[in-house]
Amino acid sequence: MAAVIEYLSGMFHWTVKRGGIIAPDERPPAGQSIALGVQHIFAMFGATFLGPVLMGFDPNVAIFFSGIGTLIFFVCVRGRIPSYLGSSFSFIAVVAAATAYSGSGANPNVATALGGIIACGAVYAVIGIIVMVVGYKWVEWLMPPVITGAIVMVIGLNLAHVAVSDLSGTASWYVNPAAGQINDLFLMTLGLLTTVAVLLVAAWAPGILRRLPILIGGVVGYLLYFVASNVLKLGGTPISFDGVSKAAWIGLPNFVAPKFDGHAMALIAPIAIVLVAENLGHIKAVAAMTGRNLDPYIGRGFLGDGLATMVSGAGGGTGVTTYAENIGVMAVTKIYSSLVFVIAAVVAILMGLCPKFGQLIYTVPGPVIGGLAIVLFGLIATTGARIWVQNKVDFSETRNLVTVAAALTIGAGDLTLTSGQFSLSGIAMACFGAIIAYQVLGLVKVQETPGDTPTAAS
C-alpha cells in the first residue's frame, strides 16, 4: 500500500507557473488550467465523434471511455507524457469488415467488434510490457520510418471509399430516393462545402482556431445543411431534433457487453501494430517539444494505451490512441501540463453522461460527415508521407520503393485473405506484408548503381 501511495503521490503534484513554457509536472493557475482542458476536448472532439459514427458506435459511450482511457494512460505513465486518448481511426475499416456494417445508423454487431477491440488492446498491452522489459529499439528495427509511414498511409487510402460514398450520396441511409440525381448533387455540394470550410479554417483561421478545423468546419457544414434543408427546403432529409428533445440531460451511456468471435478478433487484433507505430511517433514528438527524455516511458505508454483500449472495448467504446490534434495544441500554447489532460478527461466523462449530447451528434447529416471524412482520411494518408519526409526515407533504395509500392496497392485495394473462419483485412495484409518483405529484402545487401531503381516506365 505504501508503494502505491508513493507512486500516486508523484503524479498528482504540479508546481504552479504563470508564464512561459509550462512543463508536464507544472501547471498554470486553476482557471487557465480548466480552460485549457476544455480546449483540448474541442481539439480532439471533431475526430473523436466522427470515428464512432463511422463505425456505428454510440458517441456518448466513445466520449465517456476516451476520458476513462486518458486517466488510465495518465496513471500508467505517472503523468510524465501529456496526452489525450481519443477514438482511433485505425479501427474503422476492420470493424466495418468484421461486423458487415453498412454505414446506416447504429451498428447491430457492435458486440462482435468489441471482442476484437479487446483482443487488439491485449496484444498492444503485451507489446508494452515487452518494451518495458527489453526496451523499444526492437520496435524501431522492426518498423523503421519507411514501414510506419506506409502503414499510416494505407489506413487513409483504405478508408477513402467510405468518405467518397458518404459524399457522393451512394451511402443510401441518408439519400431521398424520390429526389433522384438532383438530390445526390445537392448532398454532394453540401458535403464539398463542408470540406472547403475545413480547408479554409486550417489554412487561414487566426491563432488557436487553426487547430480546430474539423470542429469548426463541421459546425459550418451543419449550419449550411440546416438552412438549405430545414429552412429553404431545397432538398435532402431535414434535420430532426426529436431525439434531442426526448433525451435526458443526465444518464448513463448505453454500455454494451463484448462478444468474442474468432473471425472478428483475427481481423481487428493486428491493428495493435498500427497503434504501436502511431503512439511511438506521438511520444517522440512530445519529447521533442518538451525537451524531456521520455524513452523510459514508451513501454508504459503502450501499456496504458492497450489497457485503455481493453477497458473501452469492455463497455462498448472504440479503440483509443494518442491524438495528434492535442499535440498540435500543445505546440501552439507551449503548455504541456499533464493536469490539463486530467481536466479534459473529466470533462469528457461528464459529456458522456449527457444523453442529449449523444442524440445531438446523431443529427449530423451524412453529407457533412462525408465532407469531414474527405479531409480526415486524406490527412491520415499524408501523415504517412510526412513521416517519410521528416525521416529522410530514401526511395532510390529499391528495398524501400518496392516494399511501399506493394503495401499501398494491397491496402488501398483492400486485398483480404480468408481461410475458413480466419481472415486478414487489407490493412493487416499490408502491415504484415510490408514488415516481412522489408526484413526479407534486407537479408542480403545488394550494391545498387544509378539507374537500378525500378520505375513505372521500366
List the Cα angle 109/266/316 in 5-degree steps. 35
The domain limits of the chain are 28-441
Of 387, 423, 424, 421, give the one whose Cα is nearest residue 404. Answer: 387
Residue 21's pLDDT band, with cuts at 50, 70 and 90, is confident
Q: Is the pLDDT of residue 180 over 50?
A: no
Of 278, 252, 266, 254, give the one whose Cα is nearest residue 115. Answer: 266
pLDDT of 64 reads 94
Lowest average pLDDT, out of 176-185, 186-195, 362-371, 396-405, goes to: 176-185
Write down the H helix ranges in 205-251: 213-225, 242-246
Q: What is the pLDDT of residues 129-179, one digit of tens each?
A: 999 999 888 888 888 889 888 887 887 788 777 777 767 654 443 444 444
Q: What is the pLDDT of residues 217-242, one digit of tens each?
A: 888 999 999 998 888 887 777 888 88
User: Who's near 225: CB < 8 A, 6+ residues apart?
Assistant: 190, 236, 239, 365, 367, 368
Q: Give kind and range of the element (H or E) at residue 27.
A: strand 26-27
